[in-house]
Structure 1
Amino acid sequence: MSDDQRRQDLADFLRTRRMRISPEQVGVIRGGRRRTPGLRREEVAQLANVGVSWYTLLEQGRDIHPSSAVLHNIADALQLTPAERQHLFLLADQQPLIDTHPSHEQISPALRRVIDALNPIPAYIIGRRWNYLAWNTTAEHIFLRSPSVPPYEYNAVWRIFADPMSHYIHNPKWEQVAQKVLAEFRADSARYADEEWFKRLIADLQRVSPEFRAWWPRHDVRGRDDAQKDMEHPLVGRLMFEHTTLQVPTAPELKVMIYTPLPETDTLAKLQQLMDIKITVNATP
């Protein structure tokens, strides 16, 4: 989208949101005859604590650049939904402010059923803090085999650097895997670098892992992409996967990690073998 088109779409979006709100919805006393439905521009400007002329230019698609704080005021004045607020920020070429006190991350029953249905294909979900939030049986056998590793028992980054089992699983490519995970985590970290949980996690990782202590100051960042991943399992040996990361539209900070067995390998048969071992163990009196 060109800048001109983006500004025009922003103008149209603001105008349509303004026209759908009645004065009574925002506590404005309706006075005199109104030629158009909804709020007037000056009423939105007053509610958002911005100048009338400035807001008029914004609705006209002029080349002005509202700050994040001003956009939040406008979104509040127009009573935008979370999806509409996100759309407003994107049209204004701004990143929305991240809520530093998010509600407890919830995995819906439907999403849990999805990852359970993928057995024997390993799948798990991590949240904004890179904590494991849900996983299926196969993923538990591969990624969460070892006992809890306090104080961050279910943090994916902590497990990579502080859990000795991770060196075995990713041998002989542990350093490559760990550096990739760290660069992805660093890319996410700009959103919550000032949060106390993040500062504690980084300090503890630097304390327990010489590799983390050496690599963290490099500021390496990278996005997520599909990739082949090989792992070593103590019971069934070498496993080869195609790794895919999916996002949940209703909760975009959740990441669904799926490890599909690489075609023309015996990985799927080995995963089924692991599931059979689990069933046998559970059935033993």
Structure 2
Amino acid sequence: MTTSASDRSALGAFLRARRARVTPGDVGLPSGGRRRTPGLRREEVAQLAGVGVTWYTWLEQGRARNASDQVLEAVARVLRLDAAEHRHLMVLAGRGTAPEPGPPMDLRPEHTAVLAKMLPYPAAVQTDCYDLVAANRTYRYLFADLDTYPVEERNCAWLMFTEPNWRNSLVDEDTVLREITARLRNRQPEHRDDPRWNALIARLRQESPDFVRYWESYEVAADRTQRRRYVSPRVGTLDVQFQSLWLDRARGERIIVMTPVDHTTAQRLERLDSLVGAAPAWTARSDSADGSAAGA
């Protein structure tokens, strides 16, 4: 399958980044003394993958138009790619299917019912590029009042990188920001023609040097349940499991939920809900279906 020049360029940059992270010892080669660059040499990858050095060099230079599955699998094995990285490689090489750009997701009554039932645990409906479509009240007030932000800024990636109240909530800032960027990087090739994605990445690159630094590291990651720690200005430190309840996994639409890891966090989430209990159980952004509605 023929790939675009931009995808071939991205594939080359991804391979170079991954090659730099594999040491000779990882693949059973002698170190060979001091090296000018980290990781494996191109000729070492080519030899271990059983392909020509010239062909592999073309891959990294974005000049190889029709790499076979056999070559891609061999390179993935040598570079020790995990499942998310392997999938990313295949998408860049034209083996993945990009979903058609669609309208904003349809926020349905059953979605908002789940948000309300999750209280006092923070929960929100989120798209694949981190747009927040709706949130229950504990999520709304977790760091700052989400409804005070313009609709176009109600995006978790944007807020975590550019909004001080959100960013200051992160106990493990480097880990969380790196993971957010790696998940965006992982799914971006499938959304190369989606204006929402292109606009978000362009804005983040323009406004956040930290995002640029993480983005250009070419790390990729899949979604997974993970433990996170936050500091809420209203109730203090929260230790939670951050997980996704999928609505449409192919499109990346989901309900995200934070459940307490310990009794102290559970008590603090209950206190947060009591402090903001006069607010509706859930609210939605105005450009989504039912966007003007709020749950009593």
* CA distance 1:268–1:191, shift in 2 (3 Å): same
The separation in 2 between residues aligned to 1:235 and 1:271, in whole angstroms, is 10
Distance 1:246 1:252, change over 3 A: farther
Residue in 1 aligned with 2:276? 278
1:68-88 Cα offsets, whole Å, 9 max, x none, are xxxxxxxxxxxxxxxxxxxxx
Amino acid at match of 1:257: I
Per the alignment, residue 236 of structure 2 pairs with: 237
Larger RCO, structures 1/2 (Cα 8 Å, 6+ apart): 2
In structure 2, relative to structure 1, the CA distance for the partners of 1:104 and 1:280 (3 Å cut) is closer
SS of alignment partner, residue 106 of structure 1: coil
Give the letter aligned to residue 170 of structure 1. Answer: L
1:4-54: per-residue Cα shift (whole Å, max 9, x none)?
Answer: xxxxxxxxxxxxxxxxxxxxxxxxxxxxxxxxxxxxxxxxxxxxxxxxxxx
RMSD in angstroms over aligned alpha carbons?
2.5
Look up the match of 1:117. 117
Q: Is the 1:115–1:123 Cα contact (8 Å) retained in structure 2?
A: yes
Tell me, in whole angstroms, the C-alpha distance in 1 between the residues paired with 2:136 and 2:200: 26
Q: 1:151 to 1:185 in 2, by over 3 A?
A: same
| Equivalent residue, structure 2, for 1:168 | 168
Distance in 1, Cα, partners of 2:248 & 2:164: 35
Q: Answer with 1 or 2: which has the greater Rg.
A: 1
3-state DSSP class of the match of 2:130? Answer: coil
Identity level (%) = 21
User: What runs of 5+ residues in structure 2 fail to find an aligned partner?
Assistant: 1-68, 70-94, 281-296
Aligned 1:1-285 pairs, distance under 5 A: 95-100=96-101, 102-145=102-145, 148=148, 152-171=152-171, 173-249=172-248, 252-263=251-262, 265-279=263-277
Separation in 2 of the partners of 1:133 and 1:146? 11
Aligned residues: 187
One-letter amino acid matched to 2:277: I
Alpha-carbon distance, 1:197 to partner: 3.1
How far apart are the structure 2 equivalents of 1:218 and 1:96?
24
Deviation at 1:98, TM superposition (A): 1.2
Q: Provide Cα deviations, 1:159-202, integer angstroms capped at 9, x if missing partner.
A: 1111111221103x112111111111111111112333323322
Q: What's the offset of the Cα at 1:245? A: 1.2
Q: Is the CA contact (8 Å cut-off) linking 1:123 and 1:259 kept in structure 2?
A: yes
Give the drift of 1:155: 1.3
| Code of the aligned partner of 2:162 | A
Shift of 1:281: 8.2
Residue 281 and residue 190 in structure 1: after superposition, are their counterparts in 2 closer, same or farther (change >3 A)? closer
Distance (Å, rounded) in 1 between the aligned partners of 2:97 and 2:163: 35
Counterpart secondary structure, 2:243: strand
Tell me, yes or no, if the aligned pair for 1:186 and 1:219 is still in contact at 8 Å: yes
Q: Which amino acid aligns with 1:219?
A: Y
Instruction: Quote how far apart the aligned CAs of 1:274 are.
Output: 1.2
Distance of 1:146 and 1:107 partners within structure 2: 18
What whole-Å deviation, never above 9, does each CA across 1:133-159 have from its counterpart, x for those lacking one?
Answer: 111111111155367555831111111
